[in-house]
Amino acid sequence: METINFTRGVPANESFPTTDLIDAASAVFKTHGTAMLQYGPSRGFEPLRQWLAEWQGVPVDRVMTSNGSLQLIEFLCLQMLKPGDLVFTESPSYDRTINLLRRHGAKVVGIPLEADGPNIEALERALQKAVPKFFYVIPDFQNPAGATCSGEKRRQLAALADRYNFLLVEDAPYRLLRYRGKEEPTLYSLAPQRTLHMSSFTKITYEWCRRGLLPPQIEKLKALYAPRLDATLSGLDKYMPDATATRPDGGFFISLTLPEGVSTTAVRQQASTRALNLADGLAFFPDGGGERFVRLPFCALSPTEIDEGLKRLAESVGAARTAHVS
């Protein structure tokens, strides 16, 4: 039995535009070889920064590139945090960010995440107690939950950041991967002086962007991933009709809350005997919870694999429930 991994949020191998990247890499080495190979400026390769600034409609001195989004967060922590400083994240949130914040000695407080974004009342109560250095938010197709923040809540976040004087760190790597529905404004557009907007772009060369290859690649990704989202949603309907799941319109993730009395730990154990790997849910919650949380990254699996994986997941939940009851 082939093992199915609903574990890490990785892109599909078949999504990589390898031939175009070979062409772009060759061309950029030819025209900018020295700049690519020599030590460069800390903020990144200037022509790429200019391209990004134009694309995002911001001045170039507001753009910085890094070796990945976690490196940007690392730089932000080095710049802004001293041990004991307060940071808010959604709860659940991206586990690597939570780890990184803790490594810098931050006190990380989780604001409960709902299907339409952070619980604003909980945020206000937390702000009345203490104001964080920043609030780390993934507004679009959140990792791990799959939730997207509503326009109304985005405006409330912008207003609260202004009133209480804290920064919004908007991590938006999945924003372009909307498979249907209308996009909401970025936090950056609503509160430009209060927001650091981050997007992930690691694997893309300047030349590839300059050639206009990003928009068709996004379209290709949508065509590849939308059926996988649908397969996941209909698989959940078919095999786990009473499950509580997010129903995102894009991104990489759907999340699931298991029925009461069934733990992710028990289900993972059952799943492992059925050639199904699941990630632990606990790491996504900065201050407890997540015992019944399951993240389903659907993009790197084919619709057939997804269907089979969800069938095995339902069997594992059933077996864990029986074990619990008996």
Nearer to its own copies, 100 or 236 (CB): 100
Output b/e per residue, 192-201; b: 16+ Cβ within 10 A: eebbbbbbbe
Q: Which stretch binds its own copies (CB under 8 A): 15-23, 169-177, 238-246, 302-310?
A: 15-23
Unique residue bearing structure tokens 């002086």: 193
Q: Which stretch binds its own copies (CB under 8 A): 9-17, 57-65, 305-313, 317-325?
A: 9-17
User: What does the longest C-alpha to C-alpha distance in the chain come to?
Assistant: 69
Q: Which stretch binds its own copies (CB under 8 A): 14-22, 154-162, 222-230, 239-247?
A: 14-22
Q: Which stretch binds its own copies (CB under 8 A): 28-36, 89-97, 223-231, 303-311?
A: 28-36
Q: Which stretch binds its own copies (CB under 8 A): 31-39, 107-115, 247-255, 277-285?
A: 31-39
Interacting positions 200-239 with its own copies (CB under 8 A): 203
38 binds its own copies (CB under 8 A): yes
Among 30, 57, 129, 193, binds its own copies (CB under 8 A): 30
Least Å from the CB of residue 13 to its own copies: 5
159 binds its own copies (CB under 8 A): no
Q: Which stretch binds its own copies (CB under 8 A): 34-42, 85-93, 109-117, 149-157?
A: 34-42
| CA–CA separation, 312 and 306 (whole Å) | 10
Least Å from the CB of residue 117 to its own copies: 27
Interacting positions 39-78 with its own copies (CB under 8 A): 39, 67, 78
Nearer to its own copies, 164 or 201 (CB): 201
DSSP 171-212: E-TTTT-B-SSPPPPPHHHH-TTTEEEE---TT--HHHHHTT
Least Å from the CB of residue 125 to its own copies: 34
Q: Is 265 exposed, middle or buried (0-12, 13-18, 19+ CB in 10 A)?
A: middle
| The token pair that represents 307 in the structure block | 């269907």
Among 3, 16, 152, 211, binds its own copies (CB under 8 A): 16
Helix (H, G, I), strand (E, B) or coil at 17: coil
Helix (H, G, I), strand (E, B) or coil at 137: strand
Number of alpha carbons in the 13 Å side-chain half-sphere of residue 128: 5
DSSP 268-288: HHHHHTTTEEE--SGGG-TTS
Give the dihedral sign, CA 139/141/146/151. positive
| CA–CA separation, 249 and 183 (whole Å) | 10
33 binds its own copies (CB under 8 A): yes
| The token pair that represents 295 in the structure block | 């993240």
Nearer to its own copies, 8 or 180 (CB): 8
| CA–CA separation, 273 and 320 (whole Å) | 12
Interacting positions 79-118 with its own copies (CB under 8 A): 103
Output b/e per residue, 3-38; b: 16+ Cβ within 10 A: ebbbeebebeeeeebeebbeebeebbeeebeeeeee
Nearer to its own copies, 74 or 291 (CB): 74
Number of alpha carbons in the 13 Å side-chain half-sphere of residue 145: 26
Nearer to its own copies, 71 or 272 (CB): 71
Least Å from the CB of residue 161 to its own copies: 29
Among 25, 159, 176, 226, binds its own copies (CB under 8 A): 25
Give residues in contact with its own copies (CB under 8 A): 8, 10-11, 13, 16, 18, 21-22, 25-26, 29-30, 33-34, 37-39, 67, 78, 103, 203
